[in-house]
Amino acid sequence: MRVMTFNLRLATPVDGPNEWQYRKELVVETILNCRPDLLGTQEGTVPQLEYLAAELSGYRPLIGHRQVDPTCQYPTIFYRAGIFQVSESNEFWLSETPTVHLSKSWGSAFPRLLTYGLFREVNRDLPFYFLDTHLDNISPEARLRQGRMIGDFCQTRQQPVILAGDFNEPPEAPVYQELVGPGSPLRDSWRALHPPEDEVTTVHAFNGQPRGSGNRIDWILATPPFAIRRAEIVTYNQGGRYPSDHFPYLAEVEY
Question: What fold, for 2-254?
Answer: Deoxyribonuclease I; Chain A (3.60.10)
Instruction: Give this prediction's pTM.
Output: 0.97
- Provide the CA 73 distance to its chain's centre, in angstroms: 13
Outline where the chain has alpha helix (H).
20-34, 46-55, 140-155, 174-180, 189-193
| Domain assignments of the chain as residue spans, ordered by start | 2-254
pLDDT in tens, 59-85: 999 999 999 999 999 999 999 999 999
Average pLDDT over residues 124-135: 98
Q: Parallel, antiparallel, or unpaired: how do β-strands 113-121 and 84-93 relate?
A: antiparallel
pLDDT in tens, 227-250: 999 999 999 999 999 999 999 999
In whole angstroms, give the CA distance from residue 73 to residue 62. Answer: 15
Judge if the upstream peptide bond of residue 225 is cis by omega within 30 degrees of 0.
yes
pLDDT in tens, 41-53: 999 999 999 999 9
In whole angstroms, give the CA distance from residue 86 to residue 121. Answer: 9
pLDDT in tens, 210-232: 877 669 999 999 999 999 999 99
In whole angstroms, give the CA distance from residue 22 to residue 202. Answer: 21
The total number of residues shown for the chain amounts to 255
Give, as one character, the DSSP assignment of residue 16.
Answer: G
Are 186 and 161 spatial neighbours (Cβ–Cβ below 8 Å)? yes
